[in-house]
Structure 1
Amino acid sequence: MQGKVSDKKVLMTKKNVAIDINNNKIYLFFKRLLDILGSIFALIIFSPVFLIVSILIKLDSPEGSIIFAQDRNGLNGEVFKMYKFRSMVPNAEELLEDLKHKNEMDGPVFKIKDDPRLTKVGKVIRKFSIDEFPQFVNVLKGDMSLVGPRPPIPREVESYSAYEMQRLYVKPGLTCYWQIGGRNSIGFDEWMELDLKYISERSMLVDIKIILSTIKKLFGDKNAS
């Protein structure tokens, strides 16, 4: 499914139109440098938030862990542990089966607006996207990038078409066009199209624009959940 032309990968879309992925070594070097510096800066700046949120999670739901580590598919489909502040009850995964009929998203993704599995603190940190902050550790480790398609859950990838699998040819990220374009208000097919749009357009300028747009939308995004 992969082919190389110069320093770019060529992918085929539904219309059999080739999409060039920017894998220029200079771009990837500076992208990784931005990831390292940006994640270190964020971890230092938000360290008080990490402490406060950790205490609140334990006070609200003492029986569970503070950090929730979940298997996600990264670059070329490789599985890694993605970190989040735990925002749900400890047995959230066990309760999922009974809630699937309430899914508000199309495609293989599961999302419901008022998820009963959320804790009181979880609802707040979800609203302000604070639950995602531990992923700066994933960025620093190299599992993720600051900008890239969101890493899917393996059970979701099992339902991907060959077309949708193409989004796994780049490193996943904290934010991308989906985050700044509406998040859960966007249907699955449009979400996939936005990810492929990023893949075909990515550059340092595009990455910086997405980061700045994400910062503007970070707090209180009505579509966060």
Structure 2
Amino acid sequence: MRKRLFDVVVITLAAVVWVPVVLLAALAVLLLSGRPIFYRSQRWVGPGRAIEMLKLRVMVPDAHTIKDHDASDLFLNTLPDSPLYTPVGRVLDRLGINEIPQFLHVLQGHMSIVGARPLTDDVRDALVEAHGAIDDRWESPAGLTGLPQLVGRTALTDQQRLQLECAYSRLVMEGGYRIRTDFMILLSTVLITFGLRKPMTFPEALAFATLRPTRVRQLASQSYTPSRDVDAVA
């Protein structure tokens, strides 16, 4: 209940910012990349549950039919330097703006702001084949951002990412959840994305799911030094 309250309050209060941003980004896609403006695809958001997810289109049309996958990194199914990205799409993806339309899924109750990222069929199947059951990562709702995004998509192995997502899910489901944890994860995601703080290390991100709230606040506020070597939006 507290997590749902946090999601609704944050998205509602921030609507004066994110709604104009999405409208301007959609206009940029239309003018610089053409139609379609949005990209829809089936994504798993929980055990046995998939939804049609909405994003701003950042790649060439029908990019999903073109193989561009690094088999050594199952989560990273499209490489950051992939030629499939359109010029405007690469910018939107780097800033995470293409993901903002998913706020609608959060308001509908299908997702949360913070949680394990939804997966396509092929990535989910490949992860299950490589690592076995992965449903622990989805005991809490799927989300737009989470602990892996505090480290960066190219800085984690699949196993480390699963460990971070499972740790956060256990935190929520076992009664250790605090609203301030989601707030700090969201704030850190924004600061890292815009280069206002350095990405965290794997142990630092894992600490969000294991440390006391006072230590989490200390961890989230430390080392806020500008850094442009960022690739934190997954």
Greater relative contact order: 1 or 2 (C-alpha under 8 angstroms, separation 6 or more)? 1
Q: How far has the Cα of 1:105 moved from its partner? A: 4.6
What aligned pairs does 1:26-65 form with structure 2 within 5 A after superposition? 29-62=1-34, 64-65=35-36
Aligned-pair identity in percent equals: 30
Q: Give TM-score, length-normalised by structure 1.
A: 0.78
Which of 105, 114, 119 aligns to 1:138? It is: 105
Unaligned runs of 5+ in 1: 1-28
Q: How far has the Cα of 1:75 moved from its partner? A: 2.5
Aligned amino acid, residue 213 of structure 1:
S
Please tell me whether the aligned partners of residues 76 and 153 of structure 2 are also in contact (alpha carbons under 8 angstroms): no
1:209 aligns with 2:180: no
Q: How far has the Cα of 1:109 moved from its partner? A: 4.4
What aligned pairs does 1:98-117 form with structure 2 within 5 A after superposition? 99-100=68-69, 103=70, 105-107=72-74, 109-117=76-84
1:189 aligns with 2:156: no
Find the residue that maps to 1:123 and give its secondary structure. Answer: helix
Instruction: Name the structure 2 match of 1:168.
Output: 138
Structure 2 CA distance for aligned equivalents of residues 81 and 170 of structure 1:
19
Please tell me whether the aligned partners of residues 136 and 169 of structure 2 are also in contact (alpha carbons under 8 angstroms): no
Q: How far has the Cα of 1:219 moved from its partner? A: 2.1
Unaligned runs of 5+ in 2: 196-227
Please tell me whether the aligned partners of residues 36 and 140 of structure 1 are also in contact (alpha carbons under 8 angstroms): yes
Instruction: Name the structure 1 match of 2:212.
Output: none
Per mean C-alpha deviation after superposition, the further-off stretch among 103-112 and 191-200 is 103-112
Per mean C-alpha deviation after superposition, the further-off stretch among 180-189 and 121-130 is 180-189
Structure 1 CA distance for aligned equivalents of residues 190 and 75 of structure 2:
28
Q: How far has the Cα of 1:58 moved from its partner? A: 0.7
Q: How far has the Cα of 1:123 moved from its partner? A: 0.9
Please tell me whether the aligned partners of residues 150 and 176 of structure 1 are also in contact (alpha carbons under 8 angstroms): yes
Q: Give TM-score, length-normalised by structure 2.
A: 0.75
Q: How far has the Cα of 1:152 moved from its partner? A: 1.1
Structure 1 CA distance for aligned equivalents of residues 103 and 77 of structure 2:
24
Relative distance call for 1:139 and 1:124 in structure 2 (3 A) is same
Structure 1 CA distance for aligned equivalents of residues 89 and 135 of structure 2:
31
Aligned residues: 192
Pairwise CA RMSD: 1.9
Relative distance call for 1:107 and 1:46 in structure 2 (3 A) is closer
- Which structure carries more strand by proportion? 1
Aligned amino acid, residue 110 of structure 2:
D
Find the residue that maps to 1:117 and give its secondary structure. Answer: coil
